[in-house]
Amino acid sequence: MNRPPRTVSGRLLRLLQLPLALIVMFYEWGWATLAHLFDWFARRPWWAAIEAGIRRLPPWPALLLFGAPGVALVPVKLFALWLMASGQQWLGVAVIVAAKVLGTAIVARLFALTQPALMQLAWFARAYRWFVPWKDAWLEAIRASLVWRMARVIKFRLRRALTRLVRSLRETLGRAR
């Protein structure tokens, strides 16, 4: 049985379980999907050459490149806000979500490529060593939550139902020929 949380951070986590679980699930789905796209690109010689050049960057240029997507997405987010202010709320939200997913995937890929150079910056390495255990503790708490477990069951059931539907449609279309 769940006991009430005793600490402020425990209470905060309990309050934020649903939105945090949805965000984490969204990022995991989005990153897994976009990672396949980046893997496809990585098999192209021209993309591999670009990534090799990024891996060779010294620490400060690597840091600038790592931060570039955040700066580059500011105009896109401003455009999305303009759309929302112009009465096109759903389109604006869609633009922000798409920019966030794509931006996160790009930053994750850039981090994988530039991490050795970034870790040469003492302040970055300290911040990273602080952030990772903190993030892991939050993710562990979110994944242990009832909301997360229920969402995983729903996701599994939806995937199974979709697989059955696709299989049924293929069989029906195969017989129609």
Output the CA torsion 62→64→66→69 (10° steps): -150
Output the CA torsion 9→13→19→24 (10° steps): 90
The domain ranges of the chain are 19-120
Output the CA torsion 79→82→87→93 (10° steps): 50
Work out the pLDDT band at 7, boundaries 50, 70, 90: confident
Residue range 125-149, pLDDT digits in tens: 999 999 888 878 877 877 787 877 8
Q: What is the pLDDT of residue 75?
A: 93
Find, among 109, 35, 131, 27, the residue nearest to 65 by Cα.
Answer: 109
Q: What is the pLDDT of residue 19?
A: 73
Question: Of 65-74, 98-107, 134-143, 153-162, where does mean pLDDT reach its minimum?
Answer: 134-143
Cα distance between residue 131 and residue 176, in whole Å: 57
Query: Which residue has 């986590």 as its token pair?
Result: 13
Q: What is the mean pLDDT of residues 84-97?
A: 93
Check residues 119 and 172 and name the one with the higher pLDDT.
119
Q: What is the pLDDT of residue 129?
A: 94
Burial 108-123 (b: 16+ CB within 10 A, else e): bbbeebbeebbeeeee
Work out the pLDDT band at 79, boundaries 50, 70, 90: very high
Check residues 9 and 52 and name the one with the higher pLDDT.
52
pTM of the model: 0.67
